[in-house]
Amino acid sequence: MTPPVSRGRHNRKKKRTVRRRLPMRYLLPSVLLVALLAMLMLRGYVHSEILADHRVQAPAPTDQVPDSVLEGGPVIDARTAGGNARTLRIPDRKIVLTFDDGPDPVWTPRVLDELRKNHAHGVFFVTGTMASRHPELVRRMVDEGHEIGLHTFNHPDLSFQSTSRIDWELSQNQLVLAGAAGIRTSLFRPPYSSFSDAMDDKSWPVTRYIGSRGYLTVVNNTDSEDWKRPGVPAIIERATPKDGRGAIVLMHDSGGDRSQTVAALGEFLPRMQRQGYEFTNLTSALGAPSAHTPVTGFALWKGKAFIGAVEISEHVTGVLVVGLAAIGVLVMVRFGLMLLLSFLHARKVRRKDFSWGGQFTRPVSVLVPAYNERECIEATVRSLVASDHPIEVVVIDDGSTDGTADLVEAMWIPNVRVVRQRNAGKPAALNNGIANARHDIVVMMDGDTVFEPSTVRELVQPFADPRVGAVAGNAKVGNRDSLIGAWQHIEYVMGFNLDRRMYDLLGCMPTIPGAVGAFRRDALDRIGGMSEDTLAEDTDVTMALHRDGWRVVYAENARAWTEAPESVQQLWSQRYRWSYGTMQAIWKHRRAVVERGPSGRFGRVGLPFVSLFMVVAPLLAPLIDVFLLYGLVFGPTGKTVAAWFGVLLVQAVCAAYAFRLDRERMTHLISLPLQQILYRQLMYVVLLQSWITALTGGRLRWQKLRRTGVVEAPGGTTNRRKETERRPVA
Please give the positions annotated as active site.
Answer: 100, 252
Distance CA 68, CA 55 (A): 29
Judged by phi (left if over 0) then psi (alpha if -120 to 50, else beta), residue 131 lies in alpha
The helix (run of H) or strand (run of E) holding residue 560 is: strand 551-562
Contact 607, 507 (CB under 8 A): no
Q: How many CA atoms within 13 Å lie on the side-chain side of 646?
A: 11
> 539 with 427: CB under 8 angstroms?
no
CB of 629 within 8 A of CB of 49? Answer: no
Contacts of 600 (CB under 8 A, 6+ apart): 592, 593, 594
Collapsing DSSP states into helix, strand and coil, what is residue 420? strand
The answer to whether 131 and 103 are in contact (CB under 8 A) is yes
The SS3 call for residue 77 is strand
* Letter string b/e over residues 57-81, b meaning 16 or more CB atoms within 10 A of that residue's CB: eeeeebeebbeebbebbbbbbbbee
Other beta carbons within 10 angstroms of residue 438's beta carbon come to 12
Q: How far apart are CA 548 and CA 544, in angstroms?
A: 6
Who contacts 22 (Cβ-Cβ below 8 Å, separation ≥6)?
Answer: none
Cβ atoms of 267 and 113 closer than 8 Å: no
Q: For residues 100 and 125, is the Cβ–Cβ distance under 8 A?
A: yes
Dihedrals phi, psi of 470, to nearest 5 degrees: -160, 155
Distance (Å, rounded) from C-alpha 127 to C-alpha 24?
A: 41
Q: Which helix (H) or strand (E) holds 278?
A: strand 278-279
Beta bridge partners, 553, equal: 471
How far apart are the C-alpha atoms of 209 and 227, rounded to whole Å?
29
Q: Measured between alpha carbons, how far is 570 from 564 in angstroms, rounded to an integer?
A: 9
**Prior bond to 636 cis, omega within 30?**
yes
Q: Would you give the DSSP letter of residue 414?
A: T
Assess contact for 448 and 380: CB atoms under 8 A. Answer: yes
Query: 55: helix, coil or strand?
Result: coil
Residue 96's beta-bridge partner residues? 248
**Contacts from 526-534 at CB under 8 Å and sequence distance 24+?**
529/430, 529/431, 529/434, 530/427, 530/430, 530/431, 530/434, 531/427, 532/425, 532/427, 532/428, 533/584, 533/588, 534/581, 534/584, 534/585, 534/588
Contact of 610 with 499, CB cutoff 8 Å: no
C-alpha to C-alpha distance for 253 and 138, rounded to whole angstroms? 13
Q: Nearest 5°: CA angle at 212, between 210 and 213?
A: 65
Per the CB < 8 A criterion, the answer to whether 111 and 245 are in contact is no
103 preceded by a cis bond (ω within 30 of 0): yes
